[in-house]
Amino acid sequence: MLRFILGFIGAVFAAVLLISFFSNLATYFRNPPAPLAAEVFHKEPREVHFASDGPFGKFDKAQLQRGFQVYSEVCSACHSLKMVSFRDLKQLGYNDAEIKKIASDWKTQVPSINPDTGEAATRKALPSDNFPAPFPNETAARAANNNALPPDLSLITKAREGGPHYVYSLITGYQNQPAELLRKFPDAKTPQNLHYNPYFANLNIAMPPPLTSNGQVSYADGTKPTVDQMAKDVAAFLVWTAEPNLESRHAAGIAVAIFLLIATILAYLAKQQIWTETHGPKAAVAPVGALDPKNQAKTRRAKVKSGVAG
């Protein structure tokens, strides 16, 4: 009786769930949800070529140095790079003296302790230090950015779909809000202190345009510092900060692929050789078991000895 009651309760519960599911499904198709402005006007990252793209990609050190210059002169005012140390810049082609000067001249000093008083203090950065954050804590960062927290850029190209293409598109994608958007979605006007950017998830971003004019950074190698070029360079630099071992990983992958290809060819040739010797048209099949002549002779002798006709 108890099993019947429990089974009945379970059946009723399942029936209620099914009724609710099909009822909500019917409601969804009769009255589909209205599209959101972000769904209609959001754009996917633009395609742009980077030297690090693809399985054979390599870093362009000149571009990485230009990208670092854009970060240090523009982006570092708000965004940290806490997972990268100054001495890592040696991979970009800087020598020890240059790295030491970059660290010493960095606009934000490293938090420290005064050895005489034990109180909090700051000191100039050393090559062994990671890049210090531009703000002492999250509260200060939000207070300086209209309560928005600037993300750390160390792994930004891995943390965002589209990687460097997203970074490039976001930096160069600021524009006035389209009139068509306001006609379709009158309540979607960009709020005060936010900026319209169709490459951002909800179209409105707290960060103002970081690159506003050509020549904002002066490149030492003579490259023309257009907004487009600076955006590409800093995006390429952030690929390196997220994956500094990309070149060695690509080289190891290519070596493994070549090894597996050669091993596969050798295995195929060995299989063909063994198959030809044992199962080929000229292969001699050795009789075994009852078909072995020696075993047949033994069988005949045994039958004669026992008086059984052979």
pLDDT of residue 284: 58
Question: Do β-strands 110-113 and 120-123 pair in parallel, antiparallel, or remain unpaired?
Answer: antiparallel
Instruction: Provide the pLDDT for residue 28.
Output: 67
Q: What pLDDT, on the 0 to 100 scale, is given for residue 75?
A: 96
Structure-token match 């203090």, residue found:
121
Q: Which neighbouring-strand residues pair with 113?
A: 120
- Exposure string over 174-194, b if 16+ CB within 10 A, otherwise e: beebeeebeeebeebebeeeb
Task: Quick: pLDDT tens for 228-270.
Answer: 999 999 999 999 999 999 999 999 999 999 999 999 999 999 8
CATH number for 39-80+150-248: choose from 3.30.300.180, 1.10.287.180, 3.40.50.300, 1.10.760.10: 1.10.760.10
Residue 155's CB is within 10 A of a number of other CB atoms, namely 15
Spans of all domains in the chain: 39-80+150-248
pLDDT at 308: 63
pLDDT at 30: 75
* Beta-carbon contacts of residue 165 (< 8 Å; ≥ 6 apart): 45, 46, 47, 48, 235
The predicted-structure confidence for 265-275, as pLDDT tens digits, reads as follows 999 998 888 87
Task: Enumerate residue ranges in the chain where pLDDT < 70.
Answer: 28, 277-291, 308-310
Question: Across the strands, what pairs with 195?
Answer: 205
The pLDDT of residue 309 is 57
Output the pLDDT for position 277: 64
